[in-house]
Amino acid sequence: MKKRALIIALSVAAALSLAACGKDKAEEAEQPTEVASQPAAEVTVPAMVMQEEPVVEEAPVESDTPPDGMVANPLTGEWIDASIADQRPIAAMVDDEKTALPHFGVSEADIIYEMTNSTMNDGVTRFMVLVKDWEKIQQLGSIRSTRPTNLQTFPEWNAVLCHDGGPFYNDMFYSNPFVDRFSGTFSRVNNGKAREFTEYIVKGDLEKNFSNNSKISKTYNDYYRGDHYQFATRSNPNTLEQYSSAQTATKVTLPFAHNKPWLEYNADEGVYYYFQYGSKEVDAGNDNKQVCFKNLLIQSARLEQLDEHGYMILHTNDSDYSSDEKREGWFITNGKAIKVTWSKMDDTYPTRYFDENGEEIRINVGKTYVAIMPSKIFGDIKFE
């Protein structure tokens, strides 16, 4: 009997002990602090989730249909408000001498032309900045003179030339009926520099100029030739991969000896960033944003020396070339470059660019940089 009682007592004790353990585990499961103290791999990532393939979202394809109330900017192909569809662009002469830096407003340009400006000072260059939606300009410049080398370019855009004077060589050209210009009529900004570096186009200057010159139309006139660049679609951009002759162009070094510029391709953004004088080309009027472009066009042009003072002209019209002279160039976009030829029939006629098959190229939607340089240095362009 004693042995049986002992067995029963032990059985009851064991049962109570098991019940107590069950209770402790149940309470333990209800305590969030205990769960949080466990290793994350044990409680937060189930095995099935770890085995699943990651979901890769495809980049949305851009629409080729303009949003309501928008049209394509003929300078960039980008959407702009339809209210300025017929507004003429300006072509502003911007000093590119190092003393004139930093520039203001250049990152808002639709197209920037860089051209050899003189045979003096290592062939110093000057910018011609084209802006379609010029009413957005807060400050652009500094503004400098027009040189003969700039004359054959701005009329092909039906642009209004904005500058401050120039040599007498320009006077005969200015008499052409397709030339409209504002000279020396912009604002002076105290920037601590010599007076020649202090003129800028600021908000309201252009409106005032148009109001004071009623003969100069704000909208396209009879000398506008219509479409200029031929754009690839947004949904099918031009990668240049269709050309077996395309070469790598992730860095393009230009043979302008004075400012030694180069452009570097950013594959993530699909644009070329501009550098000169050993530094980034930034826009002091736009939070020091670095100037960049989607397309690069480079033209070889015949240089004509006008005098011993450095005045010169780069001829960009076909009529200035003999039949055995080549009009060579490069088209660069998306990290690649192809050789092109170019054609321009007269001052108001758009420059056309043709590939190796003789077909007009299609540039990509976005800003464009155009370098026009003497043919003798054209072969010194470097690609990496």
| pLDDT tens-digit map of 90-132 | 999 999 999 999 999 999 999 999 999 889 889 899 999 999 9
pLDDT recorded at residue 323: 53
At 8-18, the pLDDT tens digits run: 343 434 343 33
8 Å CB contact between 312 and 305: yes
At 211-256, the pLDDT tens digits run: 999 899 999 999 999 889 999 999 999 999 999 999 999 999 999 9
Can you give the length of the chain in residues?
384
Two tokens, residue 177: 């009926």
Please determine, for residue 324, whether its predicted confidence score (pLDDT) is greater than 70: no
The tokens 């690649």 sit on which residue?
A: 336
Please determine, for residue 88, whether its predicted confidence score (pLDDT) is greater than 60: yes
pLDDT recorded at residue 196: 93
- 196, exposed or middle or buried, with CB in 10 Å at 0-12, 13-18, 19+? middle
Average pLDDT, integer, range 351-377: 95
Please determine, for residue 80, whether its predicted confidence score (pLDDT) is greater than 80: yes
Average pLDDT, integer, range 73-82: 95
Average pLDDT, integer, range 78-82: 95
Q: How far is CA 127 from the centre of its chain?
A: 15
Among the residue ranges 79-88, 328-337, 343-352, the one predicted with the least confidence is 343-352
Please determine, for residue 276, whether its predicted confidence score (pLDDT) is greater than 50: yes
At 292-301, the pLDDT tens digits run: 999 999 999 9
pTM of whole model > 0.85? no
Computed from CA positions of residues 13, 19, 25, 30, in that sequence, does the dihedral angle turn out positive or negative?
Answer: negative
Please determine, for residue 23, whether its predicted confidence score (pLDDT) is greater than 50: no
Is the peptide bond preceding residue 89 cis, with omega within 30 degrees of 0?
no
Contacts of 344 (CB under 8 A, 6+ apart): 152, 156, 316, 317, 318, 350, 351, 352
How many C-beta atoms lie closer than 10 Å to residue 342's C-beta?
22
pLDDT recorded at residue 64: 81
Cα Rg for the chain, rounded, in angstroms? 33
Q: How many CA atoms lie within 13 A of 256 on its CB side?
A: 28
Please determine, for residue 7, whether its predicted confidence score (pLDDT) is greater than 50: no
